[in-house]
Amino acid sequence: MRSVPAVLYGLTAAAVAILGALVFWRRRRPMALLGVLCLLGFMAPVLPSFESPHHLYLPGVGAVLLTALVAIGPQARHRRAQLLGRASGVLIALTLGTVTFFSSLAMDTGNLVESQMAAEIAAAQTPVRDGDTVYVANQPLIVHYLPQLIEERTGARGVRVVTLNWAPRILNVNCAAELTCVDDRTIEVRVRGDRLFAGTMGRLIAEANGATVQEMLGTPLRTDDFVVELLEADELGVKGLRFRFREPLTRPGVHLFWGSPTRWAAQIYPRRVALGDSQ
């Protein structure tokens, strides 16, 4: 949408225009306002504090339009129009039910992945305590609220989670993966049979930054915690990365976790060792 803002503004204007026309057309029938009232009633109390209000208003606009259309149909005077309105209502209900089912399935799957990761981290041999820093390699992209879940499960507060790289797939690592601890400040992450920052994710990154990850890592990328270097890549994506940390990973209050095909978050104790895992 950033590259074609006219599409966003156009769709928004169209939705507002349709909603306005429906409300004006049926202004003398209270049922036509049901969708608008429900939208405002549910959204208004939480908008000031909700972290992602777009999750509310984007589905809400569609719900308002559909509810208004359903409310209009059965009130038509002609029998054919009434039948058409009822049939439309049934079709809309089936469509909404199907969309809700699969949306809930995706949400539940994402919550399960987050829960499994947090459970493994909370059960690690070295416990996470207040103010600790947690580095995660191969973190699934769908995991958004890992710090909050770790704090909930461990009772720790102020936990800082730093994602080193996303897993090749949105839910997990489903290819052979390797992690090499070169020393207490340096690790290397590799995948075989798949790519990091590839597919849809790679295209989104390229469109947002005007360059692919391979191009951006042509020179080492520096952050407050580490320097990341490109080890191996091809036209499909990244095969390997090296992370050089500014401080030793062995210092107190620092934890390193790694995702693989068989573990959501295996705790790693940095030393000169190579780990591999495959399906």
Claim to verify: residue 142 and residue 97 sit in the same structural domain: no
DSSP lists the bridge partners of residue 254 as: 133
Claim to verify: residue 106 and residue 164 sit in the same structural domain: no
User: Nearest-CA neighbor of 73 among 32, 12, 39?
Assistant: 32
Claim to verify: residue 59 and residue 89 sit in the same structural domain: yes
- Residue 106: predicted pLDDT: 78
- Residue 1: predicted pLDDT: 44
Claim to verify: residue 268 and residue 150 sit in the same structural domain: yes
Claim to verify: residue 137 and residue 106 sit in the same structural domain: no
Per-residue pLDDT of the chain (279 residues), as tens digits, is 445 567 657 766 776 777 677 667 766 666 656 666 666 666 666 666 555 555 655 556 666 666 666 655 555 566 776 677 677 777 877 877 787 788 778 778 888 999 999 999 999 999 999 999 999 999 998 888 899 999 999 999 999 999 999 999 888 898 899 999 999 999 999 999 899 988 888 888 888 888 888 888 888 989 999 999 999 998 888 999 999 999 999 999 999 999 998 999 999 988 755 555 544
Of 83, 110, 137, which residue constitutes the final position of a domain? 110
Global model pTM greater than 0.75: no
Q: Is residue 118 part of a domain?
A: no
- Residue 91: predicted pLDDT: 80
Claim to verify: residue 134 and residue 259 sit in the same structural domain: yes
Claim to verify: residue 26 and residue 72 sit in the same structural domain: yes
Claim to verify: residue 84 and residue 177 sit in the same structural domain: no
User: Nearest-CA neighbor of 225 among 142, 136, 146?
Assistant: 136
- Residue 249: predicted pLDDT: 94
Q: Is residue 122 part of a domain?
A: no
Claim to verify: residue 145 and residue 268 sit in the same structural domain: yes
Claim to verify: residue 160 and residue 253 sit in the same structural domain: yes
Claim to verify: residue 224 and residue 92 sit in the same structural domain: no
Of 110, 135, 154, which residue constitutes the final position of a domain? 110
Identify the domain containing residue 73 by its residue range: 5-110
Q: Is residue 65 part of a domain?
A: yes
Claim to verify: residue 17 and residue 134 sit in the same structural domain: no
* Number of domains composing the chain: 2
Q: Is residue 119 part of a domain?
A: no
Of 79, 110, 141, which residue constitutes the final position of a domain? 110
